[in-house]
Amino acid sequence: MDNFKIWLLLTEGGRLDRDGFNSLFRSHLEELLPRVSDTRRRDALAAMRDTDWIGYILTSLRNAGYHDQQEREEAAHDLTVSLLVQPGQLFAGYDPRGSGPMPARFALSVANAIRNLRRAKARRYQNLPRAEVDAAESVPARGPIHVEDDEIIDAFRRHLRQSLGQLAVELLDLRLDGMTYREIGRRASFNRMSRWQLRQLVARTREEGRSFAESINDDEFQTMVERLLVRPGTSSS
């Protein structure tokens, strides 16, 4: 039903219905609020009722190089479907006990959804017949979107710190630095852990990475986490 509503909001009158789109985001927010028992978290979410969700998305798209208004509004539609319907993890994937602040979650989800849109567009461009490619290349280039991987890693660090604690963050950073699990096990923070305990920490951190990647709809990040946090004892660990 949401998908049909979003389609109508885009096509009625031929223009994007900004108020209608914001109402959809607010309705999802209202559905989420009763699931949140922590008073501080619930109050922070309730404070977002007046957020101009679509305004933020349109501005982000413009900054990413979507200068044509029609293209920008169509992209905003696709992005909203991604956030609310398929896979729709912005609100549906929110964990009232473990997820980070919704403003940061929304901003990161928008950035990653835009990156995915641009990847899909680039793949379509690569498959164009040569004549169409030549025509496209005659159009002035739009600047690339700059979504640094460090931004995603930092957001995942914050998520890990809240869900599993500082030791999981240290494990992530040491693996990013290229350390083997044997080397990690010798460090002061880990040398009191049994091999089984280290395996459990790796497994839980890897699972948090999968959940985080799904929440921001980033398959590449999920692949990176699974390679980085491969089970101890395998050839690449």
Stated as kind and residue range, the H or E segment containing 196 is helix 195-215
How would you class 61 by CB atoms within 10 Å of its CB: exposed for 0-12, middle for 13-18, buried for 19 or more? buried
pLDDT value of position 147: 34
Separation of CA 71 from chain center: 22
Rounded distance, CA 144 to CA 56, Å?
A: 18
pTM exceeds cut of 0.75: no
CA-based R_g, the chain, Å: 21
Are 205 and 172 a contacting pair, CB within 8 Å?
yes
Q: Of 170, 236, 158, which is closest to residue 201 (Cα–Cα)?
A: 170
pLDDT tens by residue, the chain, 237 residues: 454 444 444 444 446 778 888 998 999 999 999 999 988 888 889 999 999 999 999 998 988 888 888 888 888 888 888 888 878 889 988 888 878 788 888 888 898 888 887 777 666 555 545 444 344 333 333 333 233 456 788 888 888 998 899 999 999 988 887 788 888 988 888 988 888 889 899 999 999 988 888 887 777 788 888 888 887 765 455
pLDDT value of position 31: 93
DSSP 8-state symbol, 68:
S
pLDDT value of position 140: 35
Q: How far apart are the first and last CA of the chain?
A: 46
